[in-house]
Amino acid sequence: MPPPDLLDQLRTRKLITGSVQFEPLFGGRTNMVWKVLGESGDTVLKLYRNKLRNPMFRNDAHLEALCLRAFEQDGFVPRLQATGQHQGDAWVLYDHAPGRPWESGTAQVASLLRKLHGSTVDLPLPSGRNGSADLARHGAELLALCSSSLRDRVTAMRPEDPVPPTKRTCLIHGDPVAGNILVDGSNLTLIDWQCPAIGDPCEDLALFLSPAMQHLYHGAPLAPDERARFLTEYGDPETVTRYDALQPWYAWRMAAYCLWRSENGSTDYEKGLQLELKALEDRAISE
């Protein structure tokens, strides 16, 4: 159950009325989330845990609220109902989106991300990582937080080919993994907007295609034909070519992140680390 004083706050604001039930949702890995089953419709309550600092993914309730409001008319985000504070942590309440976490059909996801990246919505968002030098710095920051013997192995596998920053930045979701994409027939909904940015669209492509993230949220990495279909259906050859050049850098940084997570108690990231290292090795062999 949510904290009693938070429930009192929601009732005072008439955001929950009458008889309601709460079902914990366990798809997220940072915040506390409940499905609220109410007489007038189901909602989702997310209580941010801002004391948990993640060096890869920002966790900002204000940014999530901004994006939900901005894209409310576009049909691919839940409708925001309210935001607030509870004992120093933020919370958001939004309509429950129908559907199940994404399992198959990469073309649908590619079309959704292309639509997002083509948006003209102007929001005051932080800048994303852009170019290989930026990714190299970020990966080094992550590895500096690690202490196991694997740190040296990951460090040694850092790519060498530089890729300059792009001027074609846009609004990116920042965490479009399978668990954050709900599918209801032909309709897709993007949830968990706590780390959007103005950045390189390749960042979103890399996160969705990441072997580690697909393993964690989908059960297995994508097959080669699924990856190819995704990149074809995205429909922007210039961005796809850029992603291909940056892919080793994204894999290396993700390996560093998986090592950090596994060293901090998330043992399910150990397999993700091995998958990203294999992706780096396979790329090196192919070249």
Instruction: Read off the pLDDT of residues 206-264 as tens digits, 9 standing for 90 and up.
Output: 999 999 999 999 999 999 999 999 999 999 999 999 999 999 999 999 999 999 999 99
Per-residue pLDDT for 24 more than 80? yes
Of 73, 95, 117, the residue that ends a domain is 95
State the CATH number of the domain containing residue 77. 3.30.200.20
Tally of structural domains, the chain: 2
Give Dmax over CA atoms of the chain in angstroms: 63
Task: Examine the domain organization and report whether 125 and 254 are in the same domain.
Answer: yes
Task: Examine the domain organization and report whether 135 and 91 are in the same domain.
Answer: no
Task: Examine the domain organization and report whether 28 and 166 are in the same domain.
Answer: no
Task: Examine the domain organization and report whether 86 and 15 are in the same domain.
Answer: yes
Task: Examine the domain organization and report whether 110 and 79 are in the same domain.
Answer: no
Q: Which pTM value belongs to this model? A: 0.95
Task: Examine the domain organization and report whether 105 and 184 are in the same domain.
Answer: yes
Task: Examine the domain organization and report whether 124 and 53 are in the same domain.
Answer: no
Task: Examine the domain organization and report whether 72 and 106 are in the same domain.
Answer: no
**Which residues form the domain of 220?**
100-286
Of 95, 127, 150, the residue that ends a domain is 95
Average the pLDDT over each of 20-34, 92-106, 264-278 and give the range with the smallest value. Answer: 20-34
Nearest to 280 by CA among 241, 254, 258: 254
Task: Examine the domain organization and report whether 77 and 179 are in the same domain.
Answer: no
Of 69, 95, 121, the residue that ends a domain is 95
Per-residue pLDDT for 19 more than 90? no
